Amino acid sequence: MKIVKYLLGITRLLLFAIMTSTIFGWLLFTNLFISSEVKKLKRGILYRRFIIRNLIVLLGSKIITYGKVPTQSGLIISNHRTYFDSIVILQHILAYPIAKIELASWPLVGDVCKTTGVIFVKREDKSSRKDTLQKAQSILKNGFSILNTPEGTTHIEPTTIAFKPGAFKLAAQLNVPVIPIAIDYKLLSDAWIGDDTFLPHFIRCFGKWRTEIKISYLPPIYGDDPEELIKKSKESIDNELIRFRKDWDLKDKATKN
């Protein structure tokens, strides 16, 4: 069974690499004939969504979606389980995600991110965080969305941990809505925590025939008080995470009976 899981995970990883390299290579080639950097970035974001939608099918992800996908721009925030969170969200939303700087060095993935609107931040570096907020401010002012995980790290706690306030201060300052998203995985072992590295985690998650994920798009929150925005966002996400887990537990009990 372990061998089958390993082979399925490796096969999916290779197919993902081939598919992404092909599409990304075509994007880079066609960009040679486009002079506008803005147009290149917009094309990159659209290509990214195309890759993600195919990737989700390829990896056998079963995604259950609740709520309405936001069409307005704003600060999109979600809880954080794994690197796959943003992929699930970005299948629907054309946003600029904020990601940790380590992602930029990942083979292939890092190159795709750099060309498709990802903003990198070194979380422990104050100047890097400041530069990230300035970039996010420019993007929000131009009517685009920012995707951020304000917990700053992945974990398996049943509800969210403390939110970092920086992005919420910016949303309050620019008077843009905070749009909360709750996301969770049926198996807690799918979370990427501790000293886990990419390949073992990928095989553990996607060596299974199905990876069940729930995502809920929650109503936007408006306000000019960052603390209030944080409080309301956490509450709405936490309530959904609790509901997700209860639903899964009830279904498992019903199946056993």
Extract the tokens encoding 184. 């969770």
Asked if residues 170 and 137 have their Cβ atoms less than 8 Å apart, the reply is: yes
pLDDT tens digits for 2-11? 899 999 999 9
Query: 237: how many CB neighbours lie within 10 A of its CB?
Result: 24
| Domain topology for 2-256 | Glycerol-3-phosphate (1)-acyltransferase (3.40.1130)
Contact (Cβ atoms closer than 8 angstroms) between residue 19 and residue 51: yes
Helices (H), the chain: 2-31, 37-58, 84-90, 109-115, 126-141, 166-174, 198-206, 226-256
Alpha-carbon distance of 118 to 138, in angstroms, equals 14
How sure is the predictor about 197, in pLDDT bands with cuts at 50, 70 and 90?
A: confident
Mean pLDDT of 77-86: 94
pLDDT value for 162: 96
- Length of the chain equals 257
Q: Which residues contact 54 (CB under 8 A, 6 or more apart)?
A: 19
Average pLDDT estimate for 43-57: 91
Which runs of consecutive H residues, i.e. helices, occur in 70-165?
84-90, 109-115, 126-141
The residue among 109 and 156 whose pLDDT is bigger is: 156
**pLDDT score of 253 more than 80:** yes
Rounded to the nearest angstrom, the gap between the alpha carbon of residue 130 and the centroid of all alpha carbons in its chain is: 21
* Residue 88 and residue 57 in contact, taking contact as beta carbons nearer than 8 Å: no
Residues 6+ apart with CB under 8 A from 179: 70, 72, 74, 75, 76, 77, 145, 217, 218, 220, 221
Mean pLDDT calculated for residue range 55-61: 94
> What is the token pair recorded at 74?
């704003």
Residue 135 is predicted with a pLDDT of 82
Phi/psi of residue 170, nearest 5 degrees:
-65, -40
Cα 103 from Cα 87, distance rounded (Å): 13
In the predicted structure, residue 123 carries a pLDDT above the cut 70: no
Q: Taking a C-beta distance cutoff of 8 angstroms, is the pair 178, 74 a contact? A: yes
68-72, 141-145, 147-151: the lowest-pLDDT one? 141-145
Determine the residue type at 9.
G
| Range from 87-91, 104-108, 172-176, 190-194 carrying the lowest mean pLDDT | 104-108
Backbone φ, ψ for residue 180 (5° rounding): -80, 145
Residue 187 confidence (pLDDT): 94
Model pTM score: 0.89
Whole-number pLDDT of residue 28: 86
Q: Is 196 left (phi over 0), alpha (psi -120 to 50) or beta?
A: beta
- Euclidean distance between CA atoms 88 and 157, whole angstroms: 20
DSSP at 189: G
Distance, CA of 151 to CA of 104 (rounded, Å): 20
* Predicted confidence (pLDDT) per residue in 207-226, tens digit: 999 999 999 999 999 999 99
Q: What percent of the chain lies above the pLDDT cut of 90?
A: 55
Instruction: Give domain limits for the chain.
Output: 2-256
pLDDT score of 42: 85
pLDDT for 126-140, tens place per residue? Answer: 777 778 778 888 888
Query: In the predicted model, is pLDDT for residue 161 greater than 90?
Result: yes
pLDDT(84) > 80: yes
